[in-house]
Amino acid sequence: MNDTEIITNYIQNTPKTELHLHIEGSLEPELMFKLSKRNKIEIPFKSVDEIRSAYNFSNLDSFLKIYYQGSNVLITEEDFFDLTWEYILRCKKDNIVHTEIFFDPQSHTERGIEFNTIINGIYGALKKANAEFNITSKIIMCFLRHLDEEPCFEILNQALKHKDKIIAVGLDSSERGNPPKKFKNLFETAIKEGFLTVAHAGEEGPPEYIWDSLKLLKVKRIDHGVQCLKDNKLVDLLKKNQIPLTVCPLSNIKLCVFDKLENHNLKKMLDKELRVMVNSDDPAYFGGYLNSNLVETSKALNLGLEDVKILIKNSFKSSFLDEKSKNIWLSKI
Ligand code: HPA
Ligand code: ZN
């Protein structure tokens, strides 16, 4: 076996966790098409191929437009169950043993879908994943940062009834112009209610958004964070406190954060001993699930087996699993 084959095999055979995955971003064109028919929801595409060929993005906002449009086909609890179950089957294939998934309630409640319908569908599939495949999971509820803070409190209120199912709140959607400070009060309340916090920051936005996510939103992890290398002081802090950065390489290429995978800064971040790991973000839109992200990134950046091991270990270390479970998995890597 050559080095690439060794690394590819290692990635396939090693138990892994995923910490940055939007469940709505795992909606494959085939299921989108099926649900649009099942629910009689019009989509502006005539075929699965037409959907796929529309996936050319120039930045985050150009993707979000298509992503929210795709989510419109999700109506019933069964739809949310099917969506999540399809992702779980991918986890099984990729040997993901623990996953922490985001959902965007506001992209559904704004269309008149009940909060309970969404969470019960997702949770039902995750319960089945645990029963059938021993895959464990956590759910993170994201607020849409292009919306105002005020209506988010109502969503937080709804989440209180499902505290047993939701471990943390996060922040996603259009980053530039929607700084973390806009949601300071909301996150303060969420923390008081017992939720952990995470936030997308430094995907397209400046290092300042990473600083403010840490200081104002008290996040346990930064989602993406790739813009941090522009600020040496920030790098020092991220290294010293081993703040997890949930990097998503194929997403960054599809959304033109970097021009090509060979120019991604993941290896530089690893070399600076930052707590980075690899994730798939919105795999149905960005062309690859977790193992593809790991394999393609390893090839493009010439990562060695030790680098890949560190990435996989970092992911377990940064998960919201209890210490005992983390240690059991870490001992197997
Ligand atoms: N960034 C911000 N919001 C998102 C993303 C992302 O990569 N994916 C889904 N919502
Ligand atoms: Zn994301």
Torsion angle of alpha carbons 248, 222, 68, 44, nearest 10°? -20
Contact yes or no for 72/12 (Cβ under 8 A): no
Residue nearest to atom 2 of ligand 1 (CA): 173
How many domains would you assign to the chain? 1
Mean pLDDT of 66-90: 98
What confidence tens digit (pLDDT) does each residue in 112-150 have? 999 999 999 999 999 999 999 999 999 999 999 999 999
Residue 51 has pLDDT above 90, yes or no: yes
3-state secondary structure of 201: strand
Q: Which of 147, 172, 251 to mutate to test the pocket of ligand 1 (most atoms within 8 A of CB)?
A: 172
Work out the average pLDDT over 27-48. 95
pLDDT of amino acid 1? 82
Q: How far apart are CA 119 and CA 122, in angstroms?
A: 5
Could you give the CA distance from residue 133 to residue 120 in angstroms, rounded to a whole number?
19
For residue 87, pLDDT beyond 90: yes
Q: Which domain holds residue 279?
A: 3-330
Q: What does the pLDDT read at residue 3?
A: 85
Ligand nearest to the CA of 104: 1
**Catalytic residue of the set 175, 203, 204, 306:** 203
pLDDT, mean over the chain: 97
Structure confidence at residue 308 (pLDDT): 98
Q: How far apart are CA 20 and CA 248, in angstroms?
A: 8
The mean pLDDT of 13-17, rounded to a whole number, is 98
Whole-model pTM above 0.85?
Answer: yes
pLDDT digits (tens, 9 = 90+) for 239-262: 999 999 999 999 999 999 999 999
What Å distances lie between residue 104 and 173, 239, 288, CA to CA? 9, 30, 21
Question: In the annotation, is 150 catalytic?
Answer: no
Both tokens of 207, joined, read 């290092």
Residues 6+ apart with CB under 8 A from 300: 260, 261, 262, 264
**Closest ligand 1 atom, CA of 22?**
9
For the stretch 204-238, pLDDT in tens is: 999 999 999 999 999 999 999 999 999 999 999 99
CATH code for position 292: 3.20.20.140
